[in-house]
Amino acid sequence: MIKKCLFPVAGYGTRFLPATKAMPKEILPVLDKPLVQYGVEEAVEAGLTDIGFVTGRGKRAIEDHFDVSYELEHQIAGTGKEKALDGIRSLIETCTFSYTRQIEMKGLGDAILKGRTLIGDEPFGVVLADDLCFGSRQGVLHQMVSLYKQFRCSIVAIEEVPKDQTHAYGVIAGEAISERLFRVTDMVEKPAPEDAPSNLAIIGRYILTPDIFEILEATEPGKNGELQITDALLNQARAGCVMAYKFEGRRFDCGSVAGYVAATNYCFEQLRDREG
């Protein structure tokens, strides 16, 4: 039912300079796989195979990653090394990939609005690939797609963060519907701890209904002069309904060095456990 997934990847990744000077942060590997490939795998596991990227200058490596590499593949054909490309080959066969550009970095809301041309008039997923998520039983996006079937409204993934970190997130207030589900009543972008309505922070997974585009168009730039998806979602929540879902699983903020190192250690442990 939801087939499309948008990946806003236009940001500069300044927290990861100098690594991101000439390389997109989404191509940074955790073990041997780029962050963006983990994100696309999560989308596919949720049934979303029409993949749209909102990209920008210096991000060509992302397009090249989701394409064949004739010389390389010819070179390793018939050797044991071919196996290393099985995962990415299967994604290329399963998915379609479309690209549009955000010319100026005017915020996540603006990036999503630029993606309208790839999405059209249907509900869609959004993945911020620098948030690396591992669901407990199902992927995080898969869990959210299941909820969408029940509620048919926009859904944001949330997790509890220490109060002194609210300034790094959009933070919600909501009426608890169940242990993991809240109906959003308020949302604040990057609040100081004393202004935060809760410690429930929005992470980089969303299901959005297509009316979000009109709402984004009518939303004024907010914090830092950027068009904030949080502001548009609050407008959508006030006019109708937005749900916030405390997902089952783990998330690593791989846009920060500390989160990236934690993700790498976690994945290495998992690999060691699998390989005995």
By CB under 6 A, name the binding residues for ligand UTP: 8-15, 54, 102, 105-108, 110-111, 128, 130, 255
Residue with Cβ nearer ligand UTP (181 or 252) = 252
Query: Residue type at 207?
Result: I
The CA-based diameter of the chain, rounded to the nearest angstrom, is 61
Distance between CA atoms of 146 and 217, rounded to whole angstroms? Answer: 28
Min dist CB 211 to ligand UTP, Å, is 21
Q: How far is the CB of 177 from ligand UTP (least distance, A)?
A: 27
Helix, strand, coil percent content, the chain, rounded in steps of 5: 40, 25, 30
Write out the DSSP string of 119-139: H-SS-EEEE-TTEEEEESSS-
Nearest distance in Å: CB 58, ligand UTP = 11
Minimum gap (Å) between residue 44 Cβ and ligand UTP: 19
Nearer to ligand UTP, 54 or 88 (CB): 54
- CB-nearer residue toward ligand UTP: 25 or 142: 25
| Nearer to ligand UTP (CB atom), residue 181 or residue 247 | 247
Residue nearest to ligand UTP (CB): 11
